[in-house]
Amino acid sequence: MKTCLIPGSFDPITVGHLDIIDRATKLFDHTIISVMHNVKKKCIFTLEERMELIKKVVGERPDVEVTYFDGLMVDYARAHHVDVVVRGLRAVSDFEYEFQIGALNHQLYPELETIYLMTETKYAFLSASMVREIGYYGGNIRDLVPPQIYDEVREKLLKK
């Protein structure tokens, strides 16, 4: 069974994230979506809230698991017998950073492969930080986050 890991902050999950998740689940038998717990990163949503938002979006699926990790992603991948890490790319500017991370991860865990999926062009501009900023100022985020979580995300961002 081939298992992939999709790590990320998902603060909050966007339709761009969902595009990558949906496409990865077609390529692998099992997909682990794992929320990074990074104390250096200032997140709007708590770790638990981010996991719940993802679960609401992906629903109950036997081939998808939503978890979190704290520490090195390669240690998590090794412990969970992950074969492949899937990373989304929006633009060429993402590639340099992702290439460096992928090379370091390969050095730390040579058996782990990294696959990069280009997001659909219509999502190439989208990032969670942009969603947070637009939502914070009361802008329209309806087409930027999955409909299942729109109200919850909008309400939380307006309160910040």
Count the Cβ atoms, other than its own, within 10 Å of residue 123.
19
Q: How far is CA 118 from CA 2, 21, 24, 36, 129, in A?
A: 21, 12, 11, 21, 19
| Rounded CA separation 54/12 (Å) | 9
Number of domains in the chain: 1
Q: How confident is the model over 9-28, as pLDDT tens digits?
A: 999 999 999 999 999 999 99
Q: How many CB atoms lie within 10 A of CB 29?
A: 11
pLDDT in tens, 35-55: 998 777 789 999 999 999 999
Range of 44's domain? 3-159
This prediction has a pTM of 0.94
Rounded (5°) CA angle 126-127-131: 95
Q: What is the CATH number of the domain that holds 142?
A: 3.40.50.620
The pLDDT of residue 149 is 97
Q: Is the pLDDT of residue 91 over 90?
A: no
